[in-house]
A = this chain, B = another copy of it.
């Protein structure tokens, strides 16, 4: 594969940097973080500003992400086939299960939420479409990792952050969990991200049977799990049905 266009790669790095370090950054900080000459960084940032990808706070002179990115991001949602196909099935799943439903895909080793249906009863929830979830501590994430060995290895190389006492952080436990998911065709997460919360997810397959995303629900542990602390079979069936339906819509041969 031939080389990249240097300036564009650098511009993308600046945008990612601005996104990660939420808040405003000065040109000096940008240049230092990416090891670029100040003048070079300034030229790139100025261009990004002209096209609306970054904005400058007049008083402090610092830079932040621009409004044009918001529109591009939502335009992506309009095009994304995984999202558009799954919307029809996410609502029924939320209604049947009574829990919040999310659909995610892997982006750069993390889980990108492309669709989110609120829990039917409760309205005070924050929409987290577009946010990134940790792959090792969510049902969606573990399902996605189970079918992407590259990403799974990358996660295990890095040190998975322990959110709770039950978060899987060792290579052994994670590997076993992923194997279990592959065997069963679905996965769960019980208080591995947040105490009192649990989730169930299943893989969505696209054309050719490749796993392109995951759909899952999450909610209070006493509603998602039965007395023995296992995910309720009925909910698991709902999730798997929804995943199969979306996969069929996406053209996965015999799921």
Q: Which chain B residues border A13 with CB–CB below 8 Å? A: 51
A7 to B48 CA separation, bound complex (whole angstroms): 11
Most buried by B among A73, A108, A127: A73
**Please, which residues of chain B bring their CB within 8 A of the CB of A1?**
46
Q: List B contacts of A114 (CB < 8 A).
A: 67, 70
B-side contacts of A64, CB under 8 Å = 76, 79
What's the number of copies of this chain in the assembled complex? Answer: 2
A47 on the interface (CB 8 Å rule)? yes
| Interface mask (A6-48 → B, CB under 8 Å = 1, otherwise 0) | 0111011101101110111000000000000000000110111
Interface string of A202-242 (1 = CB under 8 A from B): 00000100000000000000000000000000000000000
Query: Given the complex, which residues of B lie within 8 Å of A7, measured CB to CB?
Result: 5, 7-8
A179 within 8 A of B: no
Does A125 make an interface contact (CB < 8 A)?
no
A127: contacting residue among B20, B71, B73, B127, CB under 8 A: B127
Is A88 at the interface (CB under 8 A from chain B)?
A: no
Does the CB pair B23–A79 fall under 8 Å?
Answer: yes
A42-80 residues at the B interface, CB under 8 angstroms: 43-44, 46-48, 50-53, 59, 64-80
Contact A75 B9 (CB under 8 A): no
In the bound complex, do residue A74 and residue B130 qualify as a contact, i.e. CB atoms below 8 Å apart? yes
Q: Chain A residues in contact with chain B, CB under 8 A?
A: 1-2, 4-5, 7-9, 11-13, 15-16, 18-20, 22-24, 43-44, 46-48, 50-53, 59, 64-80, 105, 107-108, 112, 114, 127, 129-132, 207
7 A-B contact pairs sorted by A residue (CB < 8 Å): A11-B11, A12-B51, A20-B75, A22-B78, A59-B207, A70-B76, A70-B112
